[in-house]
Structure 1
Amino acid sequence: MATTVFTVESLGLKSTKRLSNVKRRGIGSAGAHRKGVTTVLAQEATYDVERRVRDGRRPLMSVPLGYVERVPSDFRDDDRALAMMPARPKWDYELKRGKLHARERKAFVAWLHRAKEAMIEAGGYAPAFEQNIEVWRQLWRVLERADVAVVVVDARNPMLHLPPALYAHVTRRLRKPLVVVLNKIDAVPMAAVEQWASHFIATLPGIDAVVGFSSRDEAPADERFWDKKNREHEERDHAAERMHRASCIPIGRDALLRVCQELAASGKRFQTTDANADDQDDDDELDDDDDDAKDSGDEEEDTEAEERAMQALRAEQEEHERARAEGRIMIGLVGHPNVGKSSMVNSMLGRKAVSVKATPGHTKTLQTLILDEKTCLCDSPGLVFPRTDLGPAEQIIGNLIPLPVVREPFSAIRWLAEAKLVGAERWEAIQRKYSGSSDGKLAASLAMSMTGALKVRPTTDYDPEVIELLNNEDLTGEALPWSPLSMCQAYGKMRGFMQTRGVDLQKAGQTILALVFEGKIPYAIPPPLGAPVIRERKTAYVDDDEVSDDDTDDDDIKVTRSGFAALAMDSDAEEQYAYSSDEAGGAFLSMSSILQPEDFKKESSKRGSHKKRANF
C-alpha cells in the first residue's frame, strides 16, 4: 500500500532565523523612512511556518477550524480597535525643520509596540500588517484632506476588507462621513450584495451609505470571472438583470458621487483641523527637547527630505483650500491593497489615470484627480491594517500578501476549502431562488467545493498521522478525508508537478492559490443568516458653526434609531515588498518571537481555538 509522507524538508523551506546578537533597525526608527513609500511586511518566523505545514495534514472541518465566520454584529469600534490605527501627532506649518518627521517616527514606534502587545494579549497569531511609516503618512494626508471618506472593500469578503481600526479612526477620531463601496459586485450574486449592504447599514452606525461598484471592464484580465467563450452573452444577461434590480442598492459612479456630494454639502460634519486630527492621551505627548537630542543627527542627514515634505504639505493645503473655495468636494479613497481601487478610479474618470496591476499595493502614493467641477478624488495606497481577529490564511486568500512571498499555501487552502463547505448551503439557496439567471449561475459556482473545482479524486494513500489524528484504524485502505496537503498531493499528481522525492507540494499549493486569484476557482463569503442586528445610530455630525472647541462627544452626539432608511440612498512583487525582522521596530508579531519552540505546546493550550480570539 502506498504511503504518503509530508515533511517540512520535502517542501524546500529555508530557515530565516537570524542571530539574536545582530541588531537591525525596525520600521519607524531612524533611517527607516528612507525606504520611501514601499510596502513593508515583516517576515514570518520559520517555526510558525513549520507549524502550519504540519497542521496541513489534519482533515478539513476538524477542530480547530481554519475558517471561523465573522458577522457585522461582532464588529467592534471600541478603544481596542482605535489603538490599532496610528494617529498622526499634532503639527503645524511653523514646526522647526525636521521636527515633524521626528515626532511622527517617535509616535509610530510607540504605536508599533502597543499594537504588538495588544496582539500578543489577544492570544492569536498576528497577521501581516503595514510597518512602513511612509505608507501610513499617505493615509493620514488623504483622510485629513477628505470631506468624505470612502472605504473600498471587496464584495467577496467584506468583513476582511473593512478594518475595525480604519472604521473607528474615521468615525470616532476624525468624525467624518463614511461611505463603504462594495467593489467587484460582478463576482457575487446581487442578492448577497444587497444583504451585505443591509447588515452594514443596520449594524455599523458610523456608515452613512453603502454603494455597489464594478469596474470589470477596466480591470486586468486576471480579475475577470467568466470564460472568454461565453463572456459577451453573460455580460448582456448580467447587465440587464442588474439594471432591473438596481433600485435596492445604489450602484455605480453616479450613485457614489451623488451620495458623497449630499453628505459633504449637507454641512453635517465636524470641522476638523489638520493639526488636531487625533485624540492622543497625555502619556503620548512628545517632548520636543528629547526629539532635539535624539534626532539631531537625523536632521543633518535628512534636511533636504524634510524640506521637500513640508513644501508638499503646504502645496496640498493650498490646493485643498482652492478646491473648497471653488465649491469642489474632496473624496478620499482608502482601503486594502488589491480591492480594485485603481480600477475603480479609472472607471470613474473614464480613462486610465492610475496604473493597474495584480500585485497588492501597486499604488504607492496619494494621487489627487479632478472628476468634474464639483468633485476631486484623492486615492491613497493600499494599506494592510493590523488586526487580532484574523490570521495569515485569510489575508492570503484576500490577496493582501503577494503570492511570490507566501511561504506555505496550505493554511490558506484550508481556510478557503472550509469557507466553501460552510457557505455551500446558503449559496445553494440563492441558486434555487434565482435558477436560470446569472445570479443563479454565480451562486452555483460559489457553492462548488474545492475538490470539485480542482477535479481531483479521493485518495486512498495511507498516511499514519491522519489515521492517528482521526483515531480510526478502520479507514486504512478506504478513501481518506480531504486535507490541504492531500488536495495538493492529488492536484500535483494530476498536473504532473513531480520532483525526485515525489509531488512538488509547494508548487501545487501555489498553483491552486493562483487559480483562486485568477477567478478560475470562484469564492465569496455569503452574508450572515437572519435579519440584521440594528444598533443605535450615533448622529456624530453637526453643522460647522455649532462645533465647540472642546473634544468631548457628550455635547455633540445625539442617539437615534437607524433602521434601513440609509439604504436608499510574481517577481515584480518581490522587488516591491521589503521586510523587517527587528522586534523593537515592529517585527512580525508572532508568539514565536517571545517563546522558544519547546514552550509552544504549553502556550498553545492557553490560546485555545480560533473562536477564542479577540474580536473588535
Structure 2
Amino acid sequence: MPQARRKTPFSGKAKKQQLQAKKQNKTLLLSTPGGTTSYDVVSVNYQPGRSRGRGEGNRYALKFYRETDEELKMKKEEALKSLNPVSERDMEVDPSDFFPEEISFPKRPPWNFDMTPAQLDAQEQRYFKEYVDRLQASPHWKDMSYFELNLETWRQLWRVLEMCDILLLIVDVRFAGMMFPPSLYDYVVNQQGKSMILVLNKIDLVPASVVAGWQQYLSARCPGLKVVYFTSCPGYNLAGGTSDKAGLQVRRRKGRQRMCAEGATKILEACKDLVAGAVDLGSWETKIREETNVEFDDDEQAEVGETILEKPDTSFYTHERYKNGVLTIGCVGQPNVGKSSLMNAVMGRKVVSVSRTPGHTKHFQTIYLTPQVRLCDCPGLVFPSKVPRSIQILMGSYPIAQLREPYTTIRYLAERLDLPKLLRIDHPENDDTWSPRDICDGWAKKRGYITAKAARLDTYRAANSILRMALDGKICLWLRPPKFTEEREKYETCPEIKYIKWVQALTSDAGESGDIGSQSGSNSEDEEQSDGDSGDSEDNTAVCNKFAALLQEE
C-alpha cells in the first residue's frame, strides 16, 4: 500500500513571507509624477476561507481605497463640534457637480478573434491599470470617493452591456442624481445605439412630488431616456401603518407577497415603446395578468437562473439585436438600489437572493422572464464620481460594518433631519447644542448599548444602528432636484402624480396616502400630499381601473 507524502517543513520565516505576499496582493501601486506611491486597498466583503482559487468567491470582492490614520483622527475630532443645520434649498443637488465630463467608467478595450484568452486578460489588466493611473493624475482625484477597483466586477458590466438590447438602470429615488452616471448613458445610447430605461426605485419612501421632479429633470437632461417608477413595497404588500408618531418610517411587509404589477406594467409599457413590435411581448403581458393576485413567500428559497461563471471572463460576444426573437434586458445599478428585489417583484416569485450587504450578487446571471424576454442581473457597481463618502454610505454603496469612522455620515444626516426629535432622545449632558457624538451617545443611552469591559456608552454601535435605520428607510433622507423648492407647486400638480401613486398602490384608498407617502423630514409636505389625494379621487380611480382592465380581458 503506497504511503502518503511526508509533510514539508514550514518555518516561521516562510509563514511571514506568505503573509507579506498576501498583503501586497491587496495593495494597488499607482505611479505619480514624483515616483511610485502605495495606496491601501481594502476588500470590504473579503472571505478568508474562499481564497484558494481565482474562480472562488473573493474574485468578485468589492475593493476600495481606505482612508489614512491622519484622516481618521481629524474626522473623530470633528465629531465633537456642534451641528450646523442646512436649509431645504441646500438639499437640492445638481448631478453635474458629481459627474464631471473628465470622469468616466472603464470600458472594454478593443479585441479581435485572433487574440487568445491569455492575451485578452493581459490587455484588460494593463488597460485597467492605466485607467486608474489617469484618474489618479487628474485634478479631481482628491475629491473622488469610493469606486470599484476590481477588474473582474467591471468585466461583468462589459458582458451585460454587450448582451443586452435594452439597459435597465435602477437608482434609489432618494439619491437619484448621485446614482445616474451620464457617461453610462452616453456610452449606451450614443455610442452603442441601444435603448436605456431609468427605473426610479423605492418611490414609497418619498413624496410623489419629488419623484415627479426627478423624472422631469432627468428626462429633459437626457433625450430619449425612458423614466419609469417602481417599488417592491406597494400598499397591498404592507401591513399596518407606515410611520410612527415621531415620523420614523415603519414598513412591515406581509408574510405573503404579491407581484408588484403596477411597476411591472410601467416597465412593460416602456419596453413596448422601444421594441416597436420587433419582439412579441404578449407573453409578458399575460404573465402579469395571471400573477397579479398570486402570492409568494418572501422567505422561500430563490430559484437561481442560468449562472455565467468562468475563469477569466474574457469570452467573445458579438451582439445581435433581438437574437432568435428574444428581448434581452440588462439590469445595472449600484449596490443596495434594489436590483434583485426588482427582479423578484417583476417575476412574481423569488428568483434572486436578496441581501442588505453590498456586493451580495457576485456575478451576473440570466433569467428568462418569459420565452421571449430575458433578464441579465449585473453585480452592483460603484461608478467613479465625486459623490461625498457620507452619501455613499447612506446610499448603501459602502458596507456600514466596515466603517472606521461613522460620525461624518451622522453629521450629514443630522444637519438635514431633526434626529433628536425623530429618535426621541435626550441630550446626554443636558445641553442645548448637539454634536454627532452627542446624538450617538443619546441613542446608545436609550437603547442600552454598553461596552462589555468598561461599561461605557457604546457610541460605535449606536452610530451603526442609526445608519442602518437610514439605509432601511426608517430614517428617510431624500435629496431634491435642482430648483425643486421654487417649482414645488408645479411638481405637486403635474399629471405624473397620479401615475406615481398608482405604482405605489395608493389610489384605491385615498385615506392611506398621507401615511404611506409621508416623509420624516417634512411634515408640511405630508399634509399637502394628503390633501392632494382627496382632491384627485376621480383621476386616481381611472388610473387604478387602467390595470384592472387587463384582468377583464381574460
- Shorter chain as denominator, the TM-score bin is 0.5 to 0.7
Corresponding position of 2:273? 262
Matches within 5 A, 1:240-279: 252-265=263-276
Q: Determine which of 377, 382, 395 is the counterpart of 1:398.
A: 395
Change in 2 beyond 3 A, CA 1:194/1:40: same
Do residues 359 (structure 1) and 357 (structure 2) align? yes
Change in 2 beyond 3 A, CA 1:153/1:134: same
In structure 1, what is the Cα distance between the partners aligned to 2:141 and 2:110? 33
Change in 2 beyond 3 A, CA 1:482/1:157: same
Matches within 5 A, 1:133-532: 133-202=151-220, 204-206=221-223, 208-216=225-233, 252-265=263-276, 305-306=311-312, 309=313, 313-314=315-316, 321=320, 324-388=322-386, 390-420=387-417, 449-458=418-427, 460=429, 479-499=431-451, 500=454, 502-527=456-481, 528-531=484-487
Change in 2 beyond 3 A, CA 1:381/1:111: same
Residue 80 of structure 2 contacts residue 437 of structure 2 at CA under 8 Å; is this kept in 1? yes
> Unpaired segments of 5 or more residues in structure 1?
1-17, 244-250, 268-303, 421-448, 462-478, 533-563, 570-616
Corresponding position of 1:107? 127
In structure 1, what is the Cα distance between the partners aligned to 2:369 and 2:154? 25
Letter aligned with residue 518 of structure 1: D
In structure 2, what is the Cα distance between the partners aligned to 1:358 and 1:217? 19
Residue 148 of structure 1 contacts residue 179 of structure 1 at CA under 8 Å; is this kept in 2? yes
Letter aligned with residue 93 of structure 2: V
- TM-fit CA distance, 1:220: 12
Corresponding position of 1:575? none
Q: Determine which of 64, 80, 93 is the counterpart of 1:71.
A: 93
- TM-fit CA distance, 1:59: 1.6
Q: Determine which of 105, 113, 116 is the counterpart of 1:96.
A: 116
Corresponding position of 1:49? 72
Judge which range, 129-138 or 506-515, deviates more. 506-515
Q: Secondary structure at the match of 1:151?
A: strand
In structure 2, what is the Cα distance between the partners aligned to 1:404 and 1:47? 21
Q: Deviations over 1:204-243 (max 9, x none)?
A: 224511100011279999xx966899978999xxx9xx99
In structure 2, what is the Cα distance between the partners aligned to 1:150 and 1:353? 18
In structure 2, what is the Cα distance between the partners aligned to 1:346 and 1:101? 34
Matches within 5 A, 1:563-582: none
Residue 260 of structure 1 contacts residue 331 of structure 1 at CA under 8 Å; is this kept in 2? no
Change in 2 beyond 3 A, CA 1:207/1:113: farther
In structure 2, what is the Cα distance between the partners aligned to 1:178 and 1:148? 6
Residue 85 of structure 2 contacts residue 414 of structure 2 at CA under 8 Å; is this kept in 1? no
Q: Secondary structure at the match of 2:60?
A: coil
Letter aligned with residue 488 of structure 1: C
In structure 2, what is the Cα distance between the partners aligned to 1:494 and 1:324? 58
Change in 2 beyond 3 A, CA 1:138/1:452: same
In structure 2, what is the Cα distance between the partners aligned to 1:137 and 1:386? 16
Letter aligned with residue 38 of structure 1: A
Q: Which has the higher contact order (CA 8 A, sep 6+)?
A: 1
Residue 171 of structure 2 contacts residue 180 of structure 2 at CA under 8 Å; is this kept in 1? yes
- TM-fit CA distance, 1:136: 0.2
Change in 2 beyond 3 A, CA 1:92/1:184: same
**Length-normalised TM-score, structure 1:** 0.58
In structure 2, what is the Cα distance between the partners aligned to 1:510 and 1:157? 20
Letter aligned with residue 231 of structure 2: S
In structure 1, what is the Cα distance between the partners aligned to 2:224 and 2:415? 30
Q: Secondary structure at the match of 1:192?
A: helix
Q: Determine which of 97, 102, 110 is the counterpart of 1:80.
A: 102
Q: Deviations over 1:133-175 (max 9, x none)?
A: 0000000111122212111001122122223443343344434
Corresponding position of 1:59? 82
Q: Secondary structure at the match of 1:381?
A: coil
Identity across aligned pairs (percent)?
A: 31
Q: Deviations over 1:16-57 (max 9, x none)?
A: xx99xx85564699x997642222223222222222111112
- TM-fit CA distance, 1:195: 1.8
Change in 2 beyond 3 A, CA 1:199/1:97: closer
- TM-fit CA distance, 1:111: 0.6
Residue 183 of structure 1 contacts residue 340 of structure 1 at CA under 8 Å; is this kept in 2? yes
Corresponding position of 2:61? 38
Q: Determine which of 119, 144, 147 is the counterpart of 1:126.
A: 144
In structure 2, what is the Cα distance between the partners aligned to 1:129 and 1:219? 37
Q: Secondary structure at the match of 2:199?
A: strand
> How large is the Cα RMSD of the aligned pairs?
4.1
In structure 2, what is the Cα distance between the partners aligned to 1:399 and 1:218? 24
Matches within 5 A, 1:595-606: none
Corresponding position of 2:37? none
In structure 1, what is the Cα distance between the partners aligned to 2:79 and 2:455? 19
> Unpaired segments of 5 or more residues in structure 2?
1-18, 31-50, 279-309, 489-494, 501-554
Residue 459 of structure 1 contacts residue 490 of structure 1 at CA under 8 Å; is this kept in 2? yes
- TM-fit CA distance, 1:373: 3.9
Letter aligned with residue 263 of structure 1: L
Letter aligned with residue 215 of structure 1: S
Q: Deviations over 1:529-552 (max 9, x none)?
A: 2349xxxxxxxxxxxxxxxxxxxx
- TM-fit CA distance, 1:77: 6.6
Residue 28 of structure 1 contacts residue 105 of structure 1 at CA under 8 Å; is this kept in 2? no
Corresponding position of 2:8? none
Change in 2 beyond 3 A, CA 1:266/1:200: farther
In structure 2, what is the Cα distance between the partners aligned to 1:219 and 1:134? 40
Change in 2 beyond 3 A, CA 1:484/1:385: same
In structure 2, what is the Cα distance between the partners aligned to 1:33 and 1:325? 32
Residue 187 of structure 1 contacts residue 225 of structure 1 at CA under 8 Å; is this kept in 2? no
Corresponding position of 2:303? none
Change in 2 beyond 3 A, CA 1:233/1:62: closer
Residue 342 of structure 1 contacts residue 354 of structure 1 at CA under 8 Å; is this kept in 2? yes
